[in-house]
Amino acid sequence: MTDDISSYRERRGLAAAFVLCALASLTLLANHRSGGVYSLADFIKGAASNQFGDGLVHGGFIVTSGALIVCFVFLSRCLGSGRALVVIGLVFFCIGCGALMASMILDGFATPAIAARIAGTDSPDNLLTAKTLFLFLGALIRSLMPMGMLLQSAAMLSWSSVIVRGRGLRHAVGAFGLAAALSLMVALLAVPAEMTLHVLLGGIVLQAIWYLALAALLFSGRLVA
């Protein structure tokens, strides 16, 4: 038995929330500072000068992830909170959000804060300490971000395998979710390390499109078959 959102207003509200989360994700992605090859001094200078902007963008991603957790709790009720695949999807998504939030904190707050503290100093000891810290934080970020995206892709796969059993628009949205999730999972596991960032950025775009598709499904009233 499914826990349908019976109220027209509640269903439209959830759809609007998915649209806002999708637009927020795309807007934040467009304003994300791109990476590159920098010397240590240039990296410290750039990170220190963009401390507020980095915090705003990464903080926005954290808030959006929190909002998405709430949205998918309600979506899981629609799909049937007693179904194993629905529960598995919700657990995977929450853990994935946790990993991505941790990477956002390290990348958007911890790294710029260290850079701002070190900026302007010429002490070799301070620069060596900063380099060690940046290498450590970078290793954590490069592990947490793919892990989080992989878990969220597994959640998308799990939910889509339930949605695809319907007809018409519901089947199309489920099929897109299955294809997008499988593509992301294969790409994250197969691409070289230097290409991972491009896969992650593409994954955010695919997720945003899926959120919009879910919103359309909710607006149509065809989420529950």
The alpha-helical segments, DSSP class H, found in 34-83 are 40-49, 51-79
Residue 80 lies in a domain: yes
Helix axes 111-118, 124-163, angle to 10 degrees: 170
The predicted model gives 92-98 an average pLDDT of 97
Name the domain count of the chain: 1
pLDDT tens, 132-143?
898 999 899 999
Measure Cα distances from 38 to 43, 47, 132, 140, 183 in Å: 6, 11, 16, 19, 31
Residue 2 lies in a domain: no
pTM, 2 dp: 0.88
The predicted model gives 94-107 an average pLDDT of 96
Residue 209 lies in a domain: yes
- With a cut of 70, say whether residue 48 has pLDDT above it: yes
So what's the pLDDT on residue 7? 67
Residue 225 lies in a domain: no
The domain of 188 spans 8-220
Residue 57 lies in a domain: yes
Q: How far apart are CA 126 and CA 203, in angstroms?
A: 37
pLDDT tens, 161-172?
999 988 888 999
Q: How far apart are CA 39 and CA 69, in angstroms?
A: 38
User: Which range among 48-57, 119-128, 168-177 shows the weakest confidence by mean pLDDT?
Assistant: 119-128
Helix axes 196-220, 8-30, angle to 10 degrees: 160
Residue 44 lies in a domain: yes
